[in-house]
Amino acid sequence: MKLPSPVYSLYENRLRASLDPERMPRHVAVMCDGNRRWAKEAGFTDVSHGHRAGAVKVAELLQWCDDLGIEIATIYLLSVENLERDASELDLLLDIIGDVVEEISRSNSNWRVGVVGHTWLLPEPLAARLQAAQDASKDNTGT
């Protein structure tokens, strides 16, 4: 269930106020999982709706990290097992991942993109997009 925007803003503010600035982590790591399941449970026949919704949440997560002074955010976007999905779903998912990583590198934030993992398993167009995003943000400090 999605909370209405004013209610969600109050919820976010309450969460933020409950955090102890003295105990704020420098690094958070998130495994993006369940977007396809969420889309199916929400009644979408096209699971890319779930992947797109997850992409929006990545942007929100990074904004929260910025707001809270968290310096490093590791975001696990794709597992090797995901590469075995149906080609039509996989193509959409890989395109969304490319969009997310490019947006992070282009944004007005100071995030530095670092791509890790078995990148040789990725289709060349996506690998090139990820490398370009990494190169574009290489001078950012990540804070």
**CB pairs under 8 A, 24+ apart, for 130-135?**
130/98, 130/101, 132/102, 132/105, 133/101, 133/102, 133/104, 133/105, 134/105
Which among 66, 82, 95, 140 is annotated as catalytic?
82
Which among 13, 20, 33, 135 is annotated as catalytic?
33
The type of residue at 101 is V
Q: Is 46 among the catalytic positions?
A: no
Q: Is 33 among the catalytic positions?
A: yes
| Nearest by Cα to 69 from 140, 20, 106, 14 | 20
Catalytic residues: 33, 82
